[in-house]
Chain A
Amino acid sequence: MAATPLPLEVRNITKRFGETEVLKGLSLQAHKGDVITLIGASGSGKSTFLRCMNLLEQPNEGELLVHGEEIQFKQTRHGREPADWNQVVRMRAKLSMVFQSFNLWAHMTLLENVIEAPVHVLGKSKKEAIEHARALLERVGLADRADYYPAQMSGGQQQRGAIARALAMDPEVMLFDEPTSALDPELVGDVLKVMRDLADEGRTMIVVTHEMAFARDVSTQVLYLHQGIVEEAGPPAEVLDTPRSERLKQFLAPKH
């Protein structure tokens, strides 16, 4: 039906850790240019859901399609696993992730961090990758930090560097896992600004966040997760301004 395949689609994902079922059948469709924010209390499963999308966690059930290509799974005695790891590697290269604790590679300079995956995973030439990386660092305001090691930068700088690393992959979809939660309050603004810019230029993004202002202003769709299910979903104005469930009302109520 659709002329162009969706950048990312997940259907009925479930995930169990031992006896505990943390995701109870979650679905999501990301169209090109969508900014989908996942909100919910800690333990609601939102980070796990995001990590299932690039298979950092293996979902027990459900389907996953990246740019229309369905990921194949097989049953083993350890549970369900991807049937073809090469396919997973290919698919991950299309979805780049930004982590809560940045996770830059500590033994590489910022520039080396940004060109690492484009050169060694995508097979780009080093020269081309460096040019692209410099432009991206310029964009996130870190042009003068290219030769610094992660330990020599502030948290906000590291996170903007990590966003540059994600952009360097030319990803179909960017996954953000609480990108501002580990930052000092005065550093959050710079990171959110970069993310707003990305949304404005039409990047497809899925963002797990506690920043309600960001969710309200930037996202095209908000999913409120509670105990492993989507309790409410829709445009931000609807979900955040006129919540239907008592629980979401409570969640959104100003904290004292």
Chain B
Amino acid sequence: MQALSEWFTELLADNTIFTAQTLGYYGSGLVTTVQLVFLSLIIGLVLAVPLAIGRSSQRRWIRTPIFLYTYVFRGTPLLIQLYLIYYGVVFFDGIQETWLWVLLEEPFVPALIAFTLNTAAYTTEIFRGAIKATPRGEIEAARAYGMSRRLMMRRIILPSAFRRALPAYGNEVIFMLHASAIASVVTIMDLTGAARFIYARYYAPFDAFLFVAAIYLCLTFAILYLFRYLEKRLLAHLKPLEQ
């Protein structure tokens, strides 16, 4: 313990890398990463609910296009999707003259679009699996008690499926946090972007990247904790009472 604190004091004493300025980079990188991940997750979640319902539909013309979408976005690397959206959008004729260009010129919006479409695809499949796994007996009971399809979806199938999907969705959230690191390749100064910048400036890979790795670990810890809390509350119904 003593040795550790001595080492740490020494580190701070001849520290030339972690100045107020570089910490500021990390700080704004953290904000960017959290914004990017949080926004894409929220929008992705909102998109995934109707998509998952459609994906579970008995009508092929509803089901198939949604499958194609999830297949393409799960079947190609996120980095390629980001490249296509960020670099590819320029080639739409006349887009630079429209108001959309204000949004698409900066890398943040294209990255947000790529991340949202990607996480929505995964989340759709997570929910679809959970919807499909609804116990048949519970659906029969809902039908036998006079529920319409819509009411049954709202009151029985979705509440049951969301709970079932929670552990898998928690995984998806962590995955998105780490996947967001690739935003830095399109010049976004997220956490990883800040770390790359500082590494390039001081040529100190361990300091720059270990520090940022620690921040990702902390964020992951917060997510794990949040989902553990949610699971405890929302999955209480599956746990038998202790005798």
Contact = CB atoms under 8 A, between A and B. Distances in A.
A90 B240 CA distance: 36
Contacts, number: 77
A121 B146 contact: yes
B145 A93 contact: yes
Majority SS at the chain B contact face: helix
A105 B156 CA distance: 7
A96 B140 CA distance: 12
Interface string A123-150: 0000000000000000000000000111
Contacts of A89: 146-148
A117 interface: yes
A117 B147 contact: yes
- Chain B interface residue count: which class? 20 to 34
Interface string A189-211: 00000000000000000000000
B168 interface: no
Contacts of B159: 107
B31 to A, nearest CB: 37
B80 interface: no
Contact of B140 (A56, A93, A121): A56
Interface string A95-110: 1110101111111110
A191 B144 CA distance: 20
Given A106-B138, A107-B159, A117 B238 contact: no
A104 B141 contact: yes
A151 B240 contact: yes
A105 B143 contact: no
A149 B236 contact: yes
B154 to A, nearest CB: 9
Given A91-B146, A105-B156, 17 more contacts: A56-B143, A101-B137, A104-B138, A105-B138, A105-B142, A106-B138, A106-B160, A106-B237, A107-B160, A108-B237, A117-B147, A120-B151, A121-B145, A149-B238, A151-B239, A152-B241, A165-B145
23 contacts: A54-B144, A89-B147, A92-B144, A92-B145, A92-B146, A93-B146, A95-B144, A99-B140, A99-B144, A103-B137, A103-B141, A105-B141, A105-B160, A109-B237, A120-B151, A120-B155, A121-B145, A121-B151, A149-B236, A152-B239, A152-B240, A152-B241, A165-B145
Q: Which 10 A-B pairs have the closest CB atoms?
A: A93-B146, A103-B137, A149-B237, A103-B141, A117-B145, A92-B146, A97-B144, A121-B146, A152-B241, A89-B146
Interface of A: 54, 56, 85, 89-93, 95-97, 99, 101-109, 116-117, 120-121, 148-152, 165, 169
